[in-house]
Amino acid sequence: MALDTEKNSYTVIFSIIMVIVVGSILAGFANGLKPTIKANERYEKQQNILYAMGINENEGPNDVEFIPTDRVEAEFVKYIKKQFVIQGDEVIEDDQAYLIDIKKESAKAKDGDYQRRLPLFLGEKDGEEIYVMPVRGKGLWDAIWGFVAVDRTMKIQGVYFDHKAETPGLGAEIKQRFFMDDFTGESFLDDGVYSGIKVAKGNNDPKNEDKTDQEVDALAGATITGDGLSVMLQKDVKMYVSYFKKLK
Sign for the CA dihedral angle at 151, 197, 162, 104 comes to positive
Q: How far is the CB of 125 from another protein (least distance, A)?
A: 24
Q: How far is the CB of 31 from another protein (least distance, A)?
A: 10
Under rule CB under 8 A, residue 168 binds another protein: yes
Nearest to 145 by CA among 119, 169, 124: 119
The stretch near another protein (CB under 8 A) out of 15-23, 85-93, 186-194, 239-247 is 15-23
Q: How far is the CB of 73 from another protein (least distance, A)?
A: 15
The residue within the footprint of another protein, chosen from 11, 115, 153, 212 (CB under 8 A), is: 11
The stretch near another protein (CB under 8 A) out of 1-9, 120-128, 131-139, 230-238 is 1-9
> Which stretches of the chain are assigned E, i.e. beta strand?
80-87, 90-93, 118-125, 128-138, 143-150, 156-163, 189-190, 193-194, 198-200, 215-217
Under rule CB under 8 A, residue 28 binds another protein: no
The site for another protein, by CB under 8 A, has a size of: 33
Residues listed for the chain? 248
Beta bridge partners of 135: 146
DSSP track, 18-45: HHHHHHHHHHHHHHHHHHHHHHHHHHHH
User: Are the C-beta atoms of 194 and 188 separated by less than 8 Å?
Assistant: yes
75-114 binders of another protein (CB under 8 A): none
Query: Which residues here bind another protein, judged by CB under 8 A?
Result: 3, 5-6, 10-11, 14-15, 18, 22, 25-26, 29-30, 33, 36-37, 40, 44, 62, 141-142, 162, 164-165, 167-170, 178, 206-207, 220-221
